[in-house]
Amino acid sequence: MIKKFLGIAAIVLFMAAIVLFTVYPVIYTLLGSFKTNMELQAGGSFFPEKWMFSNYVKAFKEAQFIDYTWNSVVLSALTMVASVLTSSMAGFIIARYEFAGKKALVAAYLSVMFIALGPITLYPQYLLMNAVGLTGNLLGLALVLTGGQASNIFLVTGFIKSVPKELDESALMDGASHFRIYCSIMLPLIRPILGVVALFSFRLAWNDYITALVFSIPNPAIKPLTVAVVGLRYSANAAAEWHIMTAGAAIALIPILLVYIFTNRQFISGLTSGAVKG
């Protein structure tokens, strides 16, 4: 009985620690966005001594939030559509067909999942996009962010493997092409996992900073919101204005939180369906 109680207590403490370390930075940022710059840098009280709502007004004006939010929405939407299409096609082929080099391809995808390349790939990606004339625009940036989605492909592959292969064979006997099977049979059946992929890719594109910063250098007008918010750290006289940046970060959280609120049921059902079927 004591061992059971100690085990439960350890689990509760562990989960409480995870929640604390996850939620505390967000709460600190939100409260810091209402402080003066001097109070925020001094690191005094946890709550603001005086609630500076003007920080949000200043951040909204200086960051041109409407323009850069639109850039982020377009970028995230393009990345989401491209990710859903490519991962569903790749997952369908890997799950349903045998071809030369399939094992090597799967091994390569697995290596990408476990080896973090990070900024190492930025320079060759930039050179590639520059060679095809896609630097300085949101389409090129979306294509770069679409790459490296091995986890999405494996999610779709596992979900498709749970769909009876007899459906494909029956459609082939009726004269359907492989592309028709993919469009008319497979896509409707794997909608739950495609919703998960869509949310993952949207979040990735919305939160990306390094790649967006590099690819927006030739054309600052395409900067997404994450890059614009970090730019709020410095004012016109080069003084650090952390209170304005935290206010901008708080505003930038709102759209992605709204997306999660309205899609969390689809997200959870997609993951649980794949877990049960797989």
Residue 79 has pLDDT above 90, yes or no: yes
Which residue, chain included where needed, has tokens 């490296």?
Answer: 148
Q: How confident is the model at residue 273 (pLDDT cuts 50, 70, 90)?
A: low
- Collapsed DSSP state (helix, strand, coil) of residue 234: strand
Q: How confident is the model at residue 75 (pLDDT cuts 50, 70, 90)?
A: very high
Selected residue with higher pLDDT from 7 and 201: 201
pLDDT of residue 276: 45
pLDDT of residue 82: 93
Q: pTM of this prediction?
A: 0.79
- The length of the chain, given as a count of residues: 278
Distance from C-alpha of 94 to C-alpha of 51, rounded to nearest angstrom: 55
pLDDT of residue 277: 46
Tens of pLDDT, residue by residue over 115-166, are 666 667 788 888 888 888 888 889 989 998 887 778 888 888 888 888 888 8
Which of 210, 178, 179, 232 has the alpha carbon at shortest distance from 63?
Answer: 232
Domains defined for the chain, CATH in brackets: 55-277 (1.10.3720.10)
Tens of pLDDT, residue by residue over 207-254, are 888 888 888 888 888 888 888 887 776 655 545 677 777 888 788 887
Rounded to the nearest integer, the mean pLDDT of the chain is: 81
Give Cα separations from 114 to 107, 111, 149, 150 (angstroms).
11, 5, 12, 10
Q: What is the CA 62 to chain-centroid distance, rounded? A: 25
Residue 63 has pLDDT above 70, yes or no: no
